[in-house]
Structure 1
Amino acid sequence: MHEDVLLRTREGAVLRATLNRPAKRNALNGAVFGALEELIADCAVDPSLRAVVLSGAGGHFCAGLDLTELAEGEAALARNHRMGAILAGLSGLPQVVIAQVSGAAHAGGLGLACAADLVFASADARFAAPETRRGLVAAQILPWIARRTGRSEAARLVLQAHVIGAAEAWRIGLVHGVAEDADALASLVGQVLADVLQGAPEALAETKALLCALGPIVPDGYAEAGAQSFAKSAAGSEATEGIAAFREKRPPSWTTH
């Protein structure tokens, strides 16, 4: 079990799951992957649960992969496969999954938000897919961004790799609503939950199943191609330089050419 990195609070038919590595802006590491996998497995077999709210502790949603634990080779391949499976698992849950986003939702954190059914953000939320600036690729999160924003805006996010605010995220369809601050966001999510819980439990689950039946978010073969691509980039010299530059708070060498 990984209770320390993912806090769970049950409120009747609602489960609140809070990523809990605030000192790391809730960055994803092996323990968080394991906790999310356990969460998905438990929710998938709990018909009494009707909604899951995913958030982050300490003022941030999730800053993406913990680069201090970046793996290479087969380990990078396996971790990227796990990321893809977690995104698909969240999306495929019979419950309504709501992302409650404050602060950073970057890289894998952006992927988690996009895999949710509904996303609401506070005005201080910031969204980015900065992988290319680290010498990496936005592999498994890309289909989920495209699902949420459309291919054109997804292309801009992963190629320009810039940070956008909550208002811009709402404009491009990445989030469903923006609240002024954390308290207002909690109130907004509460209102949405009240609406969701007006729905009949089996009807909600069947509706989720029909949404999934509209077609796969991730094309056949993409998960493997994405994992291979990420592993290749993680083992390359650009990732070595990009991650070093990120840690040292300096521009990577390629920006000076």
Structure 2
Amino acid sequence: MADDTPLLVTREGPVVRATMNRPARRNALSAAMGEAWDQLLAELAADRAARVLVIAGAGGHFCAGLDLTEVASDLPPAERLARAEARNRRTGARFAAISALPQVVVAAVEGACHAGGLGFCCAADIAFATASARFAAPEVRRGLVPAQILPWLARRTGRTAATRLVLEGTVIAAAEAARIGLVHQVLEDAAALEAQLAATIAAVLQGAPGALAETKGLLAALGPVSPEGYAEAGAAAFARTSSSEEAAEGIAAFKARRQPGWAG
């Protein structure tokens, strides 16, 4: 079953492919998938034979964000708050770890790329999408906040475009995602996406491994993704909102496929 292998990792020589593998949930990020990601990233950080990491999703979708079935909890409020803070802190650290890898990271987006999925897309060095891909930061519509994806969105698209995306919470098409810089190129279909991946991988492998890693380091040295203290503030904000009555209503409405009460 897919949930037995929530992150499918394959390797062909220097190219590693990590496929988020919960297609029945549009590859929503579960705790088990997060643990698998953290293990892979720790291994890749020390792997000088690996040159490229491709991030993709199974079943025609990239990643629909956090699995909201794991947000709701019958735990006491203090414990629920602590768990939410820890989960969001790990999420932010995961995106930072992806960006800091010595390998060149390429996101291959099909279908839904929502919420936390945007974090994976924007933490990658290069991002491609099929024309049918759809992007959204819908957290405020669930009574939540886009705490740990926001710095990565702002870095990729600029603050103005990120602001509109996170405050409106609407779904945008791949062409619009490319226009605002969320992805670098839109391909017609999955076959064209694979062809572009092959071309990009071939181009990257022409670069010297050490020089590529040093170049990524120089890009990072241009400035931090977020100011000092943001990660903790974001984790605390997400924990507060995820434990709120708004989140309870927003998640219930999402599951029932209805409008939340505040939307009239």
Q: TM-score per shorter chain, which class?
A: over 0.9
Deviations 1:82-130 (A, max 9, x none): 0000000000001100000000000000111011000000011000000
Q: Equivalent residues in 2 for 1:195-234 (5 A)? A: 195-234=203-242
Which residue of structure 2 lines up, in the alignment, with residue 178 of structure 1? 186
Which residue of structure 1 lines up, in the alignment, with residue 110 of structure 2? 102
Q: Equivalent residues in 2 for 1:1-257 (5 A)? A: 4-70=5-71, 72-256=80-264
Q: Given residue 224 of structure 1, which amino acid in structure 2 is its aligned partner?
A: E
**8 Å contact from structure 1 (residues 3, 35) kept in 2:** no
Task: Say which SS state the counterpart of residue 78 (structure 1) adopts.
Answer: helix
Q: CA deviation at 1:9?
A: 1.0
**Structure 1: runs of 5 or more not aligned:** none
Task: Say which SS state the counterpart of residue 206 (structure 2) adopts.
Answer: coil
Question: d(CA) in 1 for partners of 2:236 and 2:129?
Answer: 32
Q: Given residue 54 of structure 1, which amino acid in structure 2 is its aligned partner?
A: I
TM-score, normalised to structure 1, is: 0.98
Q: CA deviation at 1:209?
A: 1.2
Question: d(CA) in 1 for partners of 2:145 and 2:166?
Answer: 8
Question: d(CA) in 1 for partners of 2:170 and 2:110?
Answer: 18
Identical aligned pairs, as a percentage?
62
TM-score, normalised to structure 2, is: 0.95
The ranges of structure 1 where at least 4 consecutive aligned residues each deviate by more than 6 angstroms after the TM superposition are: none
Question: d(CA) in 2 for partners of 1:189 and 1:119?
Answer: 10
The alignment's C-alpha RMSD in Å is: 1.0
Task: Say which SS state the counterpart of residue 59 (structure 2) adopts.
Answer: helix
**Structure 2: runs of 5 or more not aligned:** 73-79
Q: CA deviation at 1:173?
A: 0.5
